[in-house]
Structure 1
Amino acid sequence: MALPPPAEALPTLAGSLQALRAELPSGTRLLAVSKGHPAGVVRQAAALGQHSFGESRLQEAAAKQDQLADLPALDWHFIGRLQANKARAVLRRFGTIHSVDSLALAQRLQRIAAEECLAPAVLLQVKFRPDPAKAGFDPAEVRALEPALEQLAPLRLRGLMTIAPLGLTPEERRTLFRECRDLADALGLEECSMGMSGDWREAVAEGSTWVRLGSALFGQRPIQG
Structure 2
Amino acid sequence: MSKLTSNLANIKNQIAACSPSNHNVQLLAVSKTKPLDMIREAYHSGQRLFGENYVQEAIEKIQSASDLTEIEWHLIGPLQSNKTKQVAEHFDWVQSIDRFKIAQRLNDQRPDNLPVLNVCIQVNISNEASKSGLTSEAVCELAAQISALPNLRLRGIMAIPAKTKDEQELDQAFSQLFEIYKNLQQEYSSVDTLSMGMSQDMAQAIKNGSTMVRIGSAIFGQRT
Give me the TM-score of the superposition, normalised by structure 2. Answer: 0.88
Match of 2:82 among 82, 85, 88: 85
Match of 2:211 among 209, 215, 222: 209
Counterparts of 1:59 and 1:114 in 2: how far apart (Å)?
A: 19
Match of 1:194 among 193, 196, 199: 196
Q: Any conservation in 1 of the 2:197–2:205 contact (CA below 8 Å)?
A: yes
Counterparts of 2:142 and 2:26 in 1: how far apart (Å)?
A: 28
Q: CA deviation at 1:115?
A: 6.3
Residue matched to 2:57? 60
1:113-128 mapped onto 2 (5 Å cutoff): 113=110, 118-128=115-125
Q: CA deviation at 1:113?
A: 2.3
Counterparts of 2:142 and 2:71 in 1: how far apart (Å)?
A: 33
Deviations along 1:59-116, one digit per CA (max 9) or x if unpaired, are: 1112222322221211111110001110010111110010001122222222222667
Counterparts of 2:76 and 2:69 in 1: how far apart (Å)?
A: 20
Q: Which amino acid aligns with 2:11?
A: L
1:1-225 mapped onto 2 (5 Å cutoff): 11-24=2-15, 25=19, 27-113=24-110, 118-167=115-164, 169-188=166-185, 189-222=191-224
Deviations along 1:37-67, one digit per CA (max 9) or x if unpaired, are: 1000001101100011000111111222232
Long gaps (5+) in structure 2: 186-190
Q: Any conservation in 1 of the 2:157–2:193 contact (CA below 8 Å)?
A: yes
Q: May I ask how many residue pairs the two structures share in their alignment?
A: 213
- Percent identity between matched residues is 35
Q: Any conservation in 1 of the 2:121–2:143 contact (CA below 8 Å)?
A: no
Give me the TM-score of the superposition, normalised by structure 1. Answer: 0.88
Q: CA deviation at 1:207?
A: 0.9
Counterparts of 1:187 and 1:111 in 2: how far apart (Å)?
A: 24
Counterparts of 2:111 and 2:73 in 1: how far apart (Å)?
A: 20
Question: Which region of structure 1 is more displaced relative to structure 2, 162-171 or 172-181?
Answer: 162-171
Which runs of 4 or more aligned residues in structure 1 lie more than 3 Å from their structure 2 counterparts after TM superposition?
Answer: 114-118, 144-147
SS at 1:82 equivalent: coil
Long gaps (5+) in structure 1: 1-9
Q: CA deviation at 1:123?
A: 0.2
